[in-house]
Structure 1
Amino acid sequence: MKRRKFIKTASLTSVGLTLGSTLVNCDEINTKTAVLQNKEAIANLKALPLVVATWHVKEATAKAMEVLQAGGNALDAVEQGCRLEEANEKNQTVGKGGLPDRDGNVTLDACIMDKHGNCGSVVYLQNITHAVSVARKVMEDTPHVMLAGEGAKQFAISKGFQPEDLLTEASKKAWEKWKIEAKYKPIINIENHDTIGMLAIDKNGDIAGACTSSGLAYKIGGRVGDSPIIGSGLFVDNEIGGCVATGLGEEVVKTVGSFLVVELMRQGKTPQQACEEAIGRIVTKPNSNYKNFQVGYIAVNKQGEIGSYSIHQWFSMTKFQDEKNEQIQSDYYNKT
């Protein structure tokens, strides 16, 4: 063999051996990485099931977790958790006992969304306590997404829901007191505590969400906020995560807030980062008067990580995970 050919052959052999060794090392690294990622995934799964909800609603999250621990799915959990607050007459922001519009009518909005992206909604529903369950019936028993007003009420009655007067004595007295001046100005974290939004991840890792609300107190008759609007008050993508909103619904609708949060998570942001950016979209809009209203978001991703953020202080969420049911104060934008 000529010297030049020998050197060329030897060089190629050396490159081949080196490349082979590198490939072996890469395979080992990839295998180790895969094992670590699998361990992380298993560790995350140990943190499931998980329930989060807007505001201080420990009884609602406890009810949802009870459903999950009994083997129920995420959709059942969020429905049952929201139903508990709808039946709570002391909660004047949802269901029976909700504060009325300026004409004295209690009108309810609600929506629900499952792991497949199916969804149902009711708006301006009167005389039916469990709006979230009617929304589920819309999702499961009709070809529609949203029913409104008298049509929603008649549909609910046809499905066995019993009509009843939702204006309690306490809410009636509050309305009559308001009528003395009949002025409307949103009060941060009081009047705008108008929603229970709930997200759950079951033991299979599937996500569902629901929102239910009696809307802003003393609103103009017929007003609908963000709570029953898919993509604004609630959005779930089972591959990515879910988000729910609370606060002044008009501002959430303008930025399609919950959909925005989920899409930001799709782009790689954590739930916390996504909530913060979504709030940023509101407060940095031209002529924004954000100092006069509140908006808050909570979000979860597929790994069970959570995030929350609001414009002003004192927004909170309730989280039930690892046998611990706790209220968590949200970070916020306006620290001046």
Structure 2
Amino acid sequence: MATKSLLCVQMLLLTSIVFVVLGHEAVKSEQYPLVVSTWPFVEAVRAAWRAVDAGFSSVDAVIEGCSACEELRCDGTVGPGGSPDENGETTIDALVMDGATMEVGAVAAMRYVKDGIRAARLVMQHTKHTLLVGEKASAFAISMGLPGPTNLSSTESMEKWTKWKQNHCQPNFWKNVIPVNSCGPYHGKDSLKLSDRTCSEDSLLGNIESSSSHFSVNNHDTISMAVIDKGGHIAVGTSTNGATFKIPGRVGDGPIVGSSAYADDEVGACGATGDGDIMMRFLPCYQVVESMRLGMEPKLAAKDAISRIARKFPDFVGAVFAVNKNGEHAGACYGWTFQYSVRRPLMDDVKVVTVHPHSLP
């Protein structure tokens, strides 16, 4: 009798265990896979969703999503053909991070190769490095099979650059300088004696110092994408052609891990967009993930990271999205209205979420 009772207890325990496991999987099936991306880059999210929903890894899906955005030249600020620098040239920054292994591959100021996100993955796959830059990054990408060399400028980017030159190269990203003419070359104002200045230089100095180079959705977007695959593994990726009329050689936060994006399977992920020159000083996405690790919900973690930046730089413009390992997501922004895109199970298509800027406490 005792043996029969013990057997019943064991069967009940086994049934309970099976129920818990199946129940957990049922919850996961509603949460995963998941794709989240900055901005209403709907086609990019659809491309990532097709890959991850078909069973591909989170890294594979991120590559497909960001690559689609590069091909579509999302908002003119992702992929080739947009955001000319002061010389009229377009360069590309990109990053991919595997939240399971914490491996990262990135390229910065890459010339002549249009496939930024695929180049970043090649760095992660085939080198022990994290970041390759400039023409050497281009040479590496081409040697590994990507098409190139290719002119990354377009008719639109060159027209934009020509109009900017006609406007005396305003606005720009210089400060505390004296130009030889309205479009440079420039000298540090402390490097010339007052007696060496001409009247025209003094007047041009005023123009340079009063000019503004605000970031907005019209001159600087980054696709920053996070994907959780069916196994619960997380990856992030970014791609951008940077800030319009940037000083040649400038690298924003797009290829900087922890700033534009960050992922950890144990916690969640974050993506960012905005004034990368400011954002990289705070590593907001690393901050978001670490805040969630300490128990903050995504909404509070996102707001906290943005507030830290805005308190120091009240003219800052930027945004982040946060997603935890359970698939809960939220966004926060300052200085502009931000939108991010989401696709998950039980949704017929991509949903665009609008986030309004919040004030500092």
Q: Please state which band the TM-score falls in when normalised by the shorter chain.
A: 0.7 to 0.9
1:103 aligned partner: 87
> Structure 2 matches for 1:14-163, cutoff 5 A?
39=23, 42-89=26-73, 91-114=75-98, 115-163=100-148
**Distance in 1 between residues matched to 2:107 and 2:327, nearest whole Å:** 29
Percent sequence identity over aligned pairs: 35
Q: 1:166 aligns with which of 132, 138, 152?
A: 152
The 3-state SS of whatever aligns with 1:254 is coil
Q: Residues 38, 264 of structure 1: CA spacing in aligned structure 2 closer, same or farther, 3 A cutoff?
A: farther
Q: CA deviation at 1:45?
A: 3.5
What is the identity, as a one-letter code, of the residue corresponding to 1:252? M
Indicate conservation of the 8 Å contact 1:120/1:137, yes or no: yes
**Distance in 2 between residues matched to 1:170 and 1:267, nearest whole Å:** 46
> Structure 2 matches for 1:165-184, cutoff 5 A?
165-181=151-167, 182-184=169-171
**Distance in 2 between residues matched to 1:272 and 1:216, nearest whole Å:** 28
Q: CA deviation at 1:128?
A: 0.7
The 3-state SS of whatever aligns with 1:91 is helix
Indicate conservation of the 8 Å contact 2:39/2:223, yes or no: yes
> Structure 2 matches for 1:162-311, cutoff 5 A?
162-163=147-148, 164-181=150-167, 182-184=169-171, 185-192=213-220, 194-285=221-312, 288=313, 290=314, 292-311=315-334
Deviations 1:251-291 (A, max 9, x none): 21111111000000000011111000001101122xx2x3x
Indicate conservation of the 8 Å contact 2:298/2:329, yes or no: yes
What is the identity, as a one-letter code, of the residue corresponding to 1:124? A
- How many residues are paired up? 302
The 3-state SS of whatever aligns with 1:151 is helix
**Distance in 1 between residues matched to 2:22 and 2:259, nearest whole Å:** 34
Deviations 1:79-119 (A, max 9, x none): 01000111124631011112211111111111000121111
Indicate conservation of the 8 Å contact 1:276/1:309, yes or no: yes
Indicate conservation of the 8 Å contact 2:80/2:92, yes or no: no
Q: CA deviation at 1:161?
A: 1.2
Q: CA deviation at 1:36?
A: 7.7
Indicate conservation of the 8 Å contact 1:189/1:294, yes or no: no
The 3-state SS of whatever aligns with 1:329 is strand
The 3-state SS of whatever aligns with 2:102 is coil
What is the identity, as a one-letter code, of the residue corresponding to 2:122? K
Give 1 or 2 for the bigger CA radius of gyration: 1
What is the identity, as a one-letter code, of the residue corresponding to 1:309? A
Superposed CA RMSD: 2.3
**Distance in 1 between residues matched to 2:137 and 2:24, nearest whole Å:** 45
**Distance in 2 between residues matched to 1:321 and 1:74, nearest whole Å:** 13
Q: CA deviation at 1:187?
A: 4.0
What is the identity, as a one-letter code, of the residue corresponding to 2:152? L
Q: CA deviation at 1:35?
A: 7.4
Q: CA deviation at 1:188?
A: 2.8
**Distance in 1 between residues matched to 2:77 and 2:342, nearest whole Å:** 20
1:325 aligned partner: 350
The 3-state SS of whatever aligns with 1:332 is coil
**Distance in 2 between residues matched to 1:335 and 1:314, nearest whole Å:** 15
**Distance in 2 between residues matched to 1:173 and 1:78, nearest whole Å:** 32
Q: CA deviation at 1:71?
A: 1.2
The 3-state SS of whatever aligns with 1:284 is helix
**Distance in 2 between residues matched to 1:334 and 1:127, nearest whole Å:** 42
Indicate conservation of the 8 Å contact 2:31/2:326, yes or no: no
Point out where structure 1 has 5 or more consecutive residues left out of the alignment. 1-31
Q: Residues 154, 62 of structure 1: CA spacing in aligned structure 2 closer, same or farther, 3 A cutoff?
A: same
Indicate conservation of the 8 Å contact 1:308/1:330, yes or no: yes
Deviations 1:4-59 (A, max 9, x none): xxxxxxxxxxxxxxxxxxxxxxxxxxxx9x97898467424422111000001000
Indicate conservation of the 8 Å contact 1:312/1:335, yes or no: no
Point out where structure 2 has 5 or more consecutive residues left out of the alignment. 1-15, 172-212
**Distance in 2 between residues matched to 1:279 and 1:37, nearest whole Å:** 38
Q: Residues 41, 284 of structure 1: CA spacing in aligned structure 2 closer, same or farther, 3 A cutoff?
A: farther
The 3-state SS of whatever aligns with 2:235 is strand
What is the identity, as a one-letter code, of the residue corresponding to 1:74? S
What is the identity, as a one-letter code, of the residue corresponding to 1:67? A
Indicate conservation of the 8 Å contact 1:313/1:330, yes or no: no
**Distance in 1 between residues matched to 2:34 and 2:141, nearest whole Å:** 30
